[in-house]
Amino acid sequence: MPIGKKQRKMMKETSMLSVFYHPDFLQYRIPAGVFDGEPSDYLDLQIDQPEGPERIRNTKGVLERTAVSGQLEWRVPHAASDEELSRFHTREYIERLKEFDLAGDYVSQSTYLPKGGLHTVRLSAGAAIGAARQVLAGTSRMAYAISRPPSHHAQPGEADGYCFINGVGLATLEAIREGCRRVAVIDWDVHHGNGTQVGFYGRDDVLTISLHMDHGAWGPTHVQTGDVDEIGEGRGEGYNINLPIPFGAGDYCYNRIMECCVVPAVTEFNPDFIVLANGQDANQFDPNGRQCVTMAGYYQLALQVRELARAHCGGRLVMTQEGGYNPTYAPYCAYSVVCALLAEEPEIADPISFYPEDAVRADRDVEALIARHPLF
């Protein structure tokens, strides 16, 4: 999509982005198997679990080797304490994680904690908390926790979808502890941000918005459907917005949903802080997603979020790293997001040829979704 006059004006401005990263994120490995399941006797070759260190290593690499590197400040996260984790999670659950940490095992279906891996989980949570603190202190306008394991499926008392501790939630709570009155969470990971949804389901000071492929519930650790009727409860009614996007959707659909649903909802909510759950697994080559977003699509999505942050929060924005499981393409998409937030045009082109656009198959479906959503 071409860049408009308004966006070009934005591009004349620059700002620094703090990046929270720790080398231990590359040491944490999950045993190989059948994709994210246990090894199979039927196969000669098992494969690495998709939530591997390569995706983070390559994201760091592309950011370091391009011109945006001059606008990044690298920070080392701390390991989050029990007290910090307990702001979102139950004490019982934290103790349960410590038990799994002793030998390593599946904490839930497809969610394996390696022996001694809890330290990395704490660093990943610390990266999200640190990113929020950095922005709240005014040291940086924006901050990005490039960390793993990811976070947005972790519920107060449940691990799910490779996630153990909810960094999105911890960053959000940090903002509220520091005096923010309304925090908006925008989650464009290809999967439903069920953990964040559960954590804030009864609150009206946190608006949680999840754009995801229409995958529905997937078992005992993800009973939430991610459908439009999960809108929050009690005081929180109307403050949880699910946008299940048809399978096969790409740049057009995602940006249309952002424009028609996310932007007006956030605008009405008028947050003073925004947390972006930045997964790149809606990209066209992701092994875990069924969507077709490209580098260019992510760029446009990020411009819209940047504009929301500028309009409501003085430009303040915190990002957590969520999914994105093609270890060569997802980093380009992460780079594209960073370029948009820094008002830079990407200097490198999309490295992989473009799949057919989604216009024919999904346009009609996405219009139907907007039409039937009770909040729009």
What are the residue numbers of the active site?
A: 153
The 8-class DSSP code of residue 353 comes to: P
The amino acid occupying position 363 is: D
Backbone angles phi, psi at 23, to 5 degrees: -60, -25
Q: At a CB cut-off of 8 Å and minimum separation 6, what does 241 contact?
A: 207, 208, 209, 210, 231, 261, 262, 265, 375
Q: Cβ(12)–Cβ(250) under 8 Å?
A: no
Report the nearest approach of Zn ion to the CB of residue 145 (Å).
Answer: 16
Residue nearest to Zn ion (CB): 323
Residues 2-41 that bind Zn ion (CB under 5 A): none
Fill in the per-residue mask, 84 to 113: x = in contact with Zn ion (CB under 5 A), - = not in contact. ------------------------------
Residues 274-293 that bind Zn ion (CB under 5 A): 279, 281
Fill in the per-residue mask, 305 to 344: x = in contact with Zn ion (CB under 5 A), - = not in contact. ------------------x---------------------
Report the nearest approach of Zn ion to the CB of residue 189 (Å).
Answer: 4
Decide: helix, strand or coil at residue 64: helix
Q: Measured from the CB atom, is 218 or 269 closer to Zn ion?
A: 218
Report the nearest approach of Zn ion to the CB of residue 212 (Å).
Answer: 8
Whose CA is closest to 243, among 366, 100, 339, 140?
A: 366
The gap between the terminal CA atoms of the chain, to the nearest Å, is 25
β-bridge mates for residue 320, sequence order: 145, 277
Report the nearest approach of Zn ion to the CB of residue 98 (Å).
Answer: 26
Q: Measured from the CB atom, is 77 or 149 closer to Zn ion?
A: 149
- Pairing state between β 111-113 and 105-108: antiparallel
Separation CA 3–CA 178 (nearest Å): 36
Tell me the window of 174-182, 247-255, 273-281, 290-298 that interacts with Zn ion (CB under 5 A). Answer: 273-281
Q: Measured from the CB atom, is 140 or 291 closer to Zn ion?
A: 291
Q: Cβ(248)–Cβ(224) under 8 Å?
A: no
Q: Measured from the CB atom, is 136 or 198 closer to Zn ion?
A: 198
Tell me the window of 92-100, 101-109, 272-280, 335-343 that interacts with Zn ion (CB under 5 A). Answer: 272-280
Total of chain residues touching Zn ion, rule CB under 5 A: 5
Fill in the per-residue mask, 157 to 196: x = in contact with Zn ion (CB under 5 A), - = not in contact. --------------------------------x-x-----
Report the nearest approach of Zn ion to the CB of residue 44 (Å).
Answer: 29
51 binds Zn ion (CB under 5 A): no
Report the nearest approach of Zn ion to the CB of residue 150 (Å).
Answer: 7
Report the nearest approach of Zn ion to the CB of residue 95 (Å).
Answer: 27
Residues 210-239 that bind Zn ion (CB under 5 A): none
Q: Measured from the CB atom, is 160 or 251 closer to Zn ion?
A: 160
The token duo for 176 is 């509220």
Q: Cβ(343)–Cβ(320) under 8 Å?
A: no
Looking up tokens 């679990």, which residue turns up? 49
Q: At a CB cut-off of 8 Å and minimum separation 6, what does 342 contact?
A: 14, 15, 17, 68, 71
Q: Cβ(117)–Cβ(101) under 8 Å?
A: yes
Decide: helix, strand or coil at residue 243: strand
Q: Measured from the CB atom, is 24 or 189 closer to Zn ion?
A: 189
Looking up tokens 């059948």, which residue turns up? 34
Fill in the per-residue mask, 64 to 83: x = in contact with Zn ion (CB under 5 A), - = not in contact. --------------------
Q: Measured from the CB atom, is 323 or 331 closer to Zn ion?
A: 323
Separation CA 315–CA 309 (nearest Å): 4
Q: At a CB cut-off of 8 Å and minimum separation 6, what does 372 contact?
A: 228
> Binding residues for Zn ion, per CB under 5 A?
189, 191, 279, 281, 323
